[in-house]
Structure 1
């Protein structure tokens, strides 16, 4: 009986450690401290914008990549909980090949009527990109672009949307 109690306590302790994830508000605090400590400067517009992949950090922050060496931390105006679980992401850009804070938005194929407006865009170096992801979500993986055929099936506005 004594061994069963010890075993149960050990298993419960290990289970508690295994589910120790950060909440979205905790992730946002870490990201905001990172922005301050790294003295990241927001950009209003990114030209020659052609997405390669993306990573969701929280329900209000994500990283968009245009190449392995060029990443952007994007803050959304409000929480967008769909991005944490979506396998695909769509970008609505008013000007082709350009991403603008305050004008453009992102959304998921499952919820294309609800768009999450982009509030701020911060350029990241490769090192900043890696350290931010490891601080917030070390298990996060890039979500690559879908094929053109899947894009056409998912996009509600093919001429103005781009699948990430």
Structure 2
């Protein structure tokens, strides 16, 4: 299933509306999606009311330097792991001073996959700090573009549901 432009737009609009209604701010910490979540959130005029920053931390060095991800977590679990995306959320909250952050780290392909982490494996986290952060892993099918589109849609919908429960 390919996430269409319309689906992405609708998911971004729903999250934007909810953030505005709740008076919350958000930052993104993205790896394999390369800033696509922030792009969707800035497609609407007035997005500076809720989106404070989009941090593309593609390399392990950037994850450590910008977001404070521990080198030991990167070495032990790899960049595509629950431990790393949870630290990316906390790091984005600290770096930007927002209410909520989302993090994505995955293997979009076509290369880079392994038996335990095949192409299409993406880890997600969203939350408001360590005690209030949720993480999940998904395995998407398709080419690089399709994996990334599905990841963006999943995180937009996931953080929207998270915020609705608050």
TM-score bucket (shorter structure): under 0.3
TM (norm. structure 2) is 0.25
TM (norm. structure 1) is 0.26
Higher strand share: 1
Higher helix share: 2
Larger radius of gyration: 1
